A and B are shown apart, each in its own frame.
Chain A
C-alpha cells in the first residue's frame, strides 16, 4: 500500500474585489488558532496576483501541513465535531468568488510492504 508521510493542505480563496482585508482578518481571528489546535501547521501564505486589485478578484493561498494520515483524520474529526468550522467557512465564502481546498503528497509516493 501507499505510505503517506507529510500531507500538505492548500487553500485557495479567490476573494471579491475590496474584500481582502476582511478575509485576512477572518482567517487571522477566526481560523488560525483552531487550525493549530486541530494539528495544522501554517507553512506559507501567498497573494496572487501579487498586488491588491480593485476591479478584479485576488487569490489568497494558504499552505498548511499535517504529519501523516492519522493526523489528517484527527484534524478532520475535530473539524467535524465543531459546528463553528462550517459556519466560519460560510462567512468566508460570502466574501469569495470561489474557494478550493486540495491535498498534496510527495510525488512519487513511497510504496511499502504490509
Chain B
C-alpha cells in the first residue's frame, strides 16, 4: 500500500491574503525556520494538497511512497514536530551500499531516543520525480530534532557519511529537502496504522 506526500512552494511575493486562504483551505504543515530545499509547506496526505484556484502556488512536488519499515511508538502522539527528509540516492550506487544506507537510517531510532515515531519509504512515483527515499520522524519537541537528532554522534559520525561529499562512501545527492513543521497529530500513526 502506498501513500502520498507533497512539498508545496509559493511564488515569490505571493499575496498574503491568498496565503491565509490557502492555509485555511488545505491541511498543510508550514515549514519552520531552518528547513532546507523543500519550499514552504509539507502536505502529509490529508484531503488534497492544494484546492483548485490557488495561483500563488508555484510548485507541488508530489511523491508516492512505499513503506520500507517504520515504528509508531506513540500512537497517541499529539505533537509537536513532524520532520521529512526527501533525498536522491545516485542511480549508479552499488546495491549493497543502498541496502547498508537504508539499514543505517533505520538504526537511528535505536541510538536517538528523541525519535518517537518514524518511517523510511521508497519513492515509487511519479515517474518524473527526482527523489528516491523519504525519511520521516516525529518528535515531542523541536529540540528533539535540532539537538538530540542533529547533534547525535550516530548522526554526524556515521549516518552523514552517506551524504558527505568529502566521504568516499557518499551515495546521496547533495540537493535534499530537509523540512519540518509543527503538528498536533501523528501523520505516521495514521499512515502506518
Q: Is B190 an interface residue (CB 8 A)?
A: no
Complex Cα spacing A100 to B166, Å: 10
Interface size on B, residues (CB 8 A): 16
From B153, B160, B164, contact of A2 by CB (8 A) = B153
Interface positions, chain A 69-111, Cβ under 8 Å from B, are 69-70, 72-73, 76, 79-80, 85-86, 89, 93, 99-101, 103, 105, 109
From B147, B151, B157, contact of A103 by CB (8 A) = B157
Given contacts A76-B160, A80-B174, A103-B157, contact A89 B165 (CB under 8 A): yes
From B151, B164, B166, B167, contact of A69 by CB (8 A) = B151
Q: Chain B residues near A99 (CB, 8 Å)?
A: 168
Contact in complex: A93, B153 (CB < 8 Å): no
0/1 per residue, B161-185, Cβ < 8 Å to A?
Answer: 1001111100000100000000000
Q: How far is the CB of B164 from chain A (nearest CB, A)?
A: 6
Most chain A beta-carbon neighbours within 10 Å: one of B147, B150, B152, B166: B166
Q: Chain B residues near A28 (CB, 8 Å)?
A: none
Given contacts A69-B151, A70-B151, A73-B150, contact A80 B156 (CB under 8 A): no
Complex Cα spacing A73 to B167, Å: 14
Q: How far is the CB of A69 from chain B (nearest CB, A)?
A: 5
Complex Cα spacing A72 to B150, Å: 11
Q: Is A51 an interface residue (CB 8 A)?
A: no
Q: Is B132 an interface residue (CB 8 A)?
A: no
Contact in complex: B166, A73 (CB < 8 Å): no
Q: List the A residue with the shortest CB-CB distance to B111.
A: A2
From A72, A73, A101, contact of B168 by CB (8 A) = A101
Contact in complex: A1, B148 (CB < 8 Å): yes
Q: Is A42 an interface residue (CB 8 A)?
A: no
Most chain B beta-carbon neighbours within 10 Å: one of A69, A70, A100: A69
Complex Cα spacing A109 to B153, Å: 10
Q: Is A26 an interface residue (CB 8 A)?
A: no
Q: Chain B residues near A61 (CB, 8 Å)?
A: none
Q: Chain B residues near A73 (CB, 8 Å)?
A: 150, 156
Contact in complex: A80, B165 (CB < 8 Å): yes
Q: Chain B residues near A1 (CB, 8 Å)?
A: 147-148, 151-152
30 A-B pairs whose Cβ atoms sit less than 8 Å apart in the complex? A1-B147, A1-B152, A2-B152, A2-B153, A4-B151, A4-B153, A69-B151, A69-B153, A70-B151, A72-B156, A73-B150, A76-B160, A79-B164, A79-B165, A79-B166, A80-B174, A85-B165, A86-B165, A89-B165, A89-B168, A99-B168, A100-B168, A101-B161, A101-B166, A103-B156, A103-B157, A105-B153, A105-B157, A109-B153, A114-B147
Given A70-B151, A101-B161: 15 more A-B contacts, CB < 8 Å: A1-B147, A1-B151, A72-B156, A79-B165, A79-B166, A80-B165, A89-B165, A89-B166, A93-B168, A99-B168, A101-B166, A101-B167, A101-B168, A103-B153, A105-B153
